[in-house]
Chains A and B, each alone.
Chain A
Amino acid sequence: MSIWEPQKIQIGGRMVRPYTMTRGRSGVAMPLVALEALVAATPLGLRMRHRFKWESAEIIKLSRRETAVIELAAILEVPVGVVRVLVVDLRGRGAVTITDPPAALAGAAEGQIELLQKVLDGIKSL
C-alpha cells in the first residue's frame, strides 16, 4: 500500500503527519473500503460527535447526508487512506454506517443485469 502514503499535510492551518490522525494505522490490515462507499452518520454518532477528534467529528458532520469516502477526503483535504481508517473506526463505535458498492455487480448475471438496468434507467431519466 505505498500509494496512499503522504509525508505531511496541512489541516486547518496545522501541519501534521496525516497518519497521526489514525494513531499510525494505515489500514493495510483492514478490508479496503471502496472510494465510492457511502458514509452516513447515525443518530448516536451525531449525539456523541463532540467527543471525537476534529477529523472524525467533521466526518460525522459531513455524513449527515450520505457522502462517499472519496468526497470526505476531498472536502477535508485529507488523504483517502486516512479517511478509510477513520470511517472504519467510526463504524466500530456505531457513529456511522458504510454502504459498500452493490455485491450484485460481482454476482450472478441476473442480478448484474437487474442492477445495470436500474442504472441505465436512472441515467436516461436525468
Chain B
Amino acid sequence: MTPVKIVVAGGFGVGKTTFVGAISEIEPLRSEAIITDASDGIDDLFEDGTKTTTTVAMDFGRISLKHQLVLYLFGTPGQDRFHFMWNELARGAIGAVVLVDTRRVEDCFAAIDFFERRETPFVVAVNTFHGRKLHGIEEVRTALQIGPEVPILYCDARVRVDVQKVLVAVVEHAIDRVKSEAGVG
C-alpha cells in the first residue's frame, strides 16, 4: 500500500474532526504529542526561558482507496499557538482543506496564510453545519481575501458525500496546480 495525506485545517471548533469522521473508515483517532511550551503566553513560544509542557492533540482518519492507496486525513491542532506543528503535518501532503465557519471567518486566516506561504494547494470548505448558507461564495472569497483560483465549496461536515466532494476538489486543484506550473494542458 502507498500512503498519501490531506490536511484539514481551520479554527478551533469549526468541525475538523467531524469532517474527518464523516468519511474515515476508522473512528478518528487522536495522537498526542507533548510539546515544550513557554509557560507565560503564546508570544514567547520561541524564546528561551521557563518552559512547561503542553499536549497537542492531532485527530486523524484513514480511507483505503483502490490502486493500493491509503489516504490519511489529518486535522490540525486548532489553537493558534500550535501552528508551528503544521509544517510536520503539511510535509508531503497532497493538499489541504480550510474549513470555515461563516460566523467566525477570521478564525481561518492563519490557516490560509500558512498554506499560501507554503504553496500547498488548498480549497476552502464553508461548513454549513451551524446553519444555512448565510453567505454567497463570492462574499466568502472577499472576506477571506483569496484569489479566484482557490476553489470554495459549501459542505456539511457531517455528510459523507459532501466531504467526498471537498476531497475531490482538493485533488483536482492539486492536479491543476501541477499542470499550470509545468505548463501542461
Interface residues of A (CB under 8 A from B): 2-7, 9, 34-38, 66, 68, 70-71, 73-75, 77, 79-81, 99-102, 105-106, 109, 112-113, 115-126
The residue on B at minimum CB distance from A106 is B92
Evaluate contact between A80 and B4: CB separation under 8 angstroms.
Answer: no
Chain A residues with Cβ below 8 Å from B84 are 3
Chain A residues with Cβ below 8 Å from B178 are 109, 112-113, 116
Evaluate contact between B2 and A68: CB separation under 8 angstroms.
Answer: no
State the CA gap A7–B51 with chains docked (Å): 12
22 contacts between A and B (CB under 8 A): A3-B35, A9-B34, A35-B74, A37-B3, A66-B70, A68-B62, A70-B72, A71-B31, A74-B30, A74-B60, A79-B34, A80-B33, A99-B3, A101-B2, A109-B184, A115-B4, A116-B171, A116-B174, A118-B67, A121-B67, A122-B71, A123-B164
Contact with A along B137-161 (1 / 0, CB 8 A): 0000000000000000000000000
Contact with A along B56-93 (1 / 0, CB 8 A): 10101011011101111010000000001100110110
The number of residues on chain B lying at the interface, defined by a beta carbon within 8 Å of a beta carbon of chain A, is 47
- Known A34-B91, A120-B171; contact A74-B33, beta-carbon cutoff 8 A: no
Evaluate contact between A109 and B182: CB separation under 8 angstroms.
Answer: yes
How far apart are A72's CB and chain B's nearest CB, in angstroms? 9
State the CA gap A99–B65 with chains docked (Å): 16
Chain A residues with Cβ below 8 Å from B33 are 3-4, 6, 79-81
State the CA gap A19–B74 with chains docked (Å): 25
Chain B residues with Cβ below 8 Å from A80 are 31, 33
State the CA gap A116–B35 with chains docked (Å): 33
- Known A34-B92, A113-B178; contact A2-B65, beta-carbon cutoff 8 A: no
Evaluate contact between A99 and B1: CB separation under 8 angstroms.
Answer: yes
- From B1, B36, B60, B171, contact of A123 by CB (8 A): B171
Chain A residues with Cβ below 8 Å from B174 are 116
Evaluate contact between B5 and A101: CB separation under 8 angstroms.
Answer: yes
- Known A3-B85, A70-B31, A116-B174; contact A38-B168, beta-carbon cutoff 8 A: no
How far apart are B166's CB and chain A's nearest CB, in angstroms? 10
Instruction: List 15 additional contacts besides A4-B33, A71-B62, A126-B164; criterion CB under 8 Å.
Output: A3-B56, A6-B33, A9-B34, A36-B3, A66-B1, A79-B33, A81-B33, A109-B181, A109-B182, A116-B171, A120-B168, A122-B69, A122-B71, A124-B164, A126-B63
How far apart are A118's CB and chain B's nearest CB, in angstroms? 4
How far apart are B66's CB and chain A's nearest CB, in angstroms? 5
State the CA gap A112–B175 with chains docked (Å): 8
Evaluate contact between A6 and B3: CB separation under 8 angstroms.
Answer: no
- From B35, B69, B92, B184, contact of A118 by CB (8 A): B69
The residue on A at minimum CB distance from B34 is A6
